[in-house]
Amino acid sequence: MAAMATAPEGPAADETQPDRALFGYAAMGLTVAVWAAFALSIRFIEVSEMAAGEVALIRFAVPMVVLLPWLPSRWRTICRIRWSIAAMIFVGAGLPYFLTASWGGSLSTAIFVGALIPGLVPVFALALALTRAGRKATTYEISGAVVITCGVGGLLSNPLSNANMTLLFGASILVAASMMWSMYTTALSATDLDAVGCTLLLSIPSAVVTFILLAIGVLPGNLQGVFTHDAIVFVLVQGLGVGVIANLSYRYAIRTIGAQRSSVLGSLSPVATVLLAVPLLGEKPTEAVVFGVVLIVVGVALSYVRSKSKREINA
């Protein structure tokens, strides 16, 4: 990520094991912190010595190298995945997604990155799910989508009123990145890959393609850029943080405290982004932006609440 993925089904939290649940909440807290750091690091590309292509190489090469020893045990499972699903995973969370998110981030703010990409995922994921025959939307899902849309409106109110076309264009690109991430989460539901297998599936082709595009000059930057002083930030945040730690900690949280609680807690990542962007990047959110972020968080949390009632309504 990046950004928060739609949680796969997982076991409910085991209330008889409070210590294990505590570790699950801690893992989810770590995940939220990494997701927020992703948004900040996207903006950091603009002021660093590195180009987006060089950061992309770090983003995918680091987890590929770290997790390569586990490739043989996942190889057969990876080979069974349909090409269409593998392509959705590559586009939705691999190099195309990263370049889209970094482009949108370069034209906007870390707060926009941290709010729009994860915030709109439930809306797009629901839209994709409703294309399946017989799928219905719950009251919570529809309410969440409406609240999220209102939050996005609040977020964009200032650039709309001020005709800030650069910020609006950046926001539209981030919306596209969110749509891509939704496609990725939908593809994940069609596989039986674990966190390690999924990371290998998207990291290996992304790292290879990034290396080739850098070598022939298609992507901005050069291979020497990965050895600059700024590279350590991206190795820690993008490579190890997003590429390895967040994937594993999120799956661990789902297994220990359940998919619903993990998703609701994950909706706090835009808040964490705001709290970090103000002191670290000097961003000054307006009241409308803060209000919009709050609405998006509430909407995302609503989207992941599972109604105890069996009653559903057509979307």
Q: pLDDT tens, 254-306?
A: 888 876 778 778 888 888 999 999 898 888 888 899 999 999 999 988 887 76
Listed residue (36, 60, 91, 59) closest to 271, CA to CA:
36
CA pair distance 197, 192, nearest whole angstrom: 9
8 A C-beta contact, residue 144 and residue 299: yes
* Mean pLDDT for the stretch of residues 124-147: 81
Q: How far is CA 23 from the centre of its chain?
A: 22
- Count the Cβ atoms, other than its own, within 10 Å of residue 136: 12
What does the pLDDT read at residue 137?
79
Lookup: tokens for 278: 């103000």
pLDDT at 308 over 60: no
Higher pLDDT, 13 or 202: 202
Task: Give the model's pLDDT for residue 32.
Answer: 92
Name the more confident of 262 and 111. 111
* Comparison of pLDDT for 158 and 315, the residue scoring more: 158
> What pLDDT is stored for residue 264 in this prediction?
78
Give the global pTM. Answer: 0.85
